[in-house]
């Protein structure tokens, strides 16, 4: 006898093998994703990602290279950033999620241009991180302020 459940099982998509991401990889994935969202991953964005990962995790050069390679590999096999954002949303407090959003904005702002694709990504990200529109604006403004201070400190 054919049951409704057996028919549904035939058409149901298989459950993907989801292994939780470590938080370092999740963060690196999102940095790379936003930097690549406008198809213009420039040197300034790469340097900002390197600086942010070093500041956050204090990795050796080899660990840093391995982390970025792992994040790139993940991006090749996963079409979305849901798992990465879910790990951050579940493991971080609202304050930590806000601080992370500021860091992602720093990657966006590194080249001095906010593309339509980057803006769209950031609007999606704020929701996936379970933050609100006010946090989106405040994080952008905080990133702008931090980057202006950083530029002033770098000048001779």
Q: Tens of pLDDT along 15-25?
A: 455 567 899 99
- Distance in Å from the first CA to the final CA of the chain: 81
Number of domains in the chain: 1
Mean of the per-residue pLDDT values of the chain: 88
Tell me the average pLDDT across 110-121.
93
In a domain, 56, yes or no: yes
In a domain, 104, yes or no: yes
- Locate all alpha helices (DSSP H) within the chain, ordered by sequence: 4-11, 23-36, 43-57, 61-77, 82-91, 94-109, 116-128, 133-154
In a domain, 1, yes or no: no
In a domain, 10, yes or no: no
In a domain, 83, yes or no: yes
Read off the tokens for 94. Answer: 């609202």
In a domain, 8, yes or no: no
Query: In this predicted structure, what is the pLDDT of residue 6?
Result: 57
In a domain, 15, yes or no: no
**Is residue 81 classed exposed, middle or buried when 0-12, 13-18 and 19+ CB atoms within 10 A define those classes?**
buried
Q: Tens of pLDDT along 46-88?
A: 999 999 999 999 999 999 999 999 999 999 998 889 999 999 9
Query: In this predicted structure, what is the pLDDT of residue 15?
Result: 44
Distance between CA atoms of 69 and 75, rounded to whole angstroms? 10
Q: How far is CA 131 from the centre of its chain?
A: 14
Boundaries of domain holding 59:
20-154
In a domain, 73, yes or no: yes
Query: In this predicted structure, what is the pLDDT of residue 21?
Result: 87
> Domain of 143: which CATH number?
1.10.3680.10
Query: In this predicted structure, what is the pLDDT of residue 7?
Result: 56
pLDDT band at 143 (very low <50, low <70, confident <90, very high): very high
């Amino acid at each position: 006898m054919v049951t409704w459940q057996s028919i549904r099982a035939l058409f149901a998509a298989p459950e993907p093998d989801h292994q939780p991401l470590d938080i370092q990889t999740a963060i690196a994935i999102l940095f790379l994703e936003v930097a690549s969202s406008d198809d213009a991953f420039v040197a300034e964005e790469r340097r900002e990602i390197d600086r942010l990962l070093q500041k956050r995790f204090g990795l050796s050069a080899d660990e840093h290279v391995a982390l970025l390679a792992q994040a790139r590999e993940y991006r090749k096999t996963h079409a979305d950033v849901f798992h990465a954002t879910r790990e951050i949303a579940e493991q971080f407090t609202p304050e930590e999620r806000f601080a992370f959003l500021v860091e992602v904005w720093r990657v966006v702002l590194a080249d001095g241009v906010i593309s339509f694709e980057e803006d769209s990504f950031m609007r999606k990200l704020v929701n996936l991180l379970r933050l609100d529109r006010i946090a989106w604006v405040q994080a952008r403004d905080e990133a702008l302020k931090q980057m202006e201070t950083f530029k002033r400190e770098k000048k001779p």
